[in-house]
Amino acid sequence: MNQHDDWWIVKEPGARGTVATIGFRTDRLKEWGRLLFLDLPNKGAYLAAADFFVSIEARQMITFSAAPLSGQVIAINPLLNGWVDTAASGSEWLLKLLIKD
C-alpha cells in the first residue's frame, strides 16, 4: 500500500499561505473498517511530507500513515481525534495544514 494513497486533499488560498484540508479516502475506510482511535499531531505541530504522523486503530487493522504534504497543523477535526466519535463516518476532514507559498 502506498501511504500517499490514503488521502483526499483540497487546497485553498489563505491569507498566510495555502490551506490544505486532508481526509481519508473512502476506499481506505472500507478496507480498514470502522475507525476506533486516531493518534493525531497537536495543533501547531509541523509535519514533513512522507513522515509518519497518524496512528490508526480500526476494526480491521492497526496501521500508521505518512503525511502527504509538509506544513503546520492549524486545525484538527475533534470528532476524529482520540477515540473516534460514533457519529463520525470517518470520511470527514481529518486536519488542516498551512503550507507556506
pTM for this structure? 0.85
What is the widest separation between alpha-carbon atoms in the chain? 40
pLDDT digits (tens, 9 = 90+) for 2-34: 445 788 899 999 888 999 999 988 888 888 888
Give the other-Cβ count within 10 Å of 45's Cβ: 14
**pLDDT at 4 (0 to 100):** 55
For residue 35, pLDDT over 70 is answered with yes
Beta-ladder partners of 23? 8, 93
CA distance 56 to 42: 15
**pLDDT at 31 (0 to 100):** 87
pLDDT digits (tens, 9 = 90+) for 61-97: 998 989 999 999 999 998 888 888 777 776 689 999 9
Cell numbers given for 9: 486533499
Residue with cell 476506533: 36
Contact 37, 82 (CB under 8 A): yes
